[in-house]
């Protein structure tokens, strides 16, 4: 007896694909946001020069840093994952360049 197999993406009908897409959206909506990420935190003086002095949730801090990076064209044109720090960001990061993956490690030191 032959074993039943799942159809591949190429074999799936558009209706099947829509149903799977809807299910994944519902699953993502069911996830709860970690309340610790939404707690407003006070940025240090150095970080405040980039994102503002008022307490912000960690998610907003990261968004504002990315706005600053993009508006000042601080991404390495040859490697978009690398951020080239200007004077303000050097005070936050402590180095001339960081990857986008290392950025949160440096930011967390400036939030209390």
Residue 4 has pLDDT above 80, yes or no: no
The pLDDT, as a whole number, for residue 24 is 66
Confidence label for 111 from pLDDT (cuts 50, 70 and 90): very high
Domains observed in the chain = 37-108 (1.10.245.10)
pTM here is 0.69
Tell me the per-residue pLDDT of 6-29, one tens digit each, with 9 for 90 and over: 655 555 566 666 666 766 666 655
Tell me the per-residue pLDDT of 43-90, one tens digit each, with 9 for 90 and over: 999 999 999 999 999 999 999 999 999 999 999 999 999 999 999 999
- N- to C-terminal Cα distance for the chain? 64
């Amino acid at each position: 007896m032959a074993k039943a197999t799942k159809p591949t993406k190429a074999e799936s009908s558009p209706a099947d694909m829509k149903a799977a897409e809807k299910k994944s959206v519902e699953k993502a909506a069911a996830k709860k946001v970690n309340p610790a990420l939404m707690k407003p935190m006070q940025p240090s003086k150095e970080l405040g020069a980039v994102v503002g002095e008022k307490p912000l949730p960690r998610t907003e801090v990261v968004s504002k840093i990315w706005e600053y990076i993009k508006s000042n064209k601080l991404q390495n044109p040859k490697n978009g994952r690398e951020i080239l720090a200007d004077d303000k960001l050097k005070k936050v990061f402590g180095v001339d360049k960081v990857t986008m993956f290392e950025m949160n490690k440096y930011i967390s030191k400036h939030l209390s």
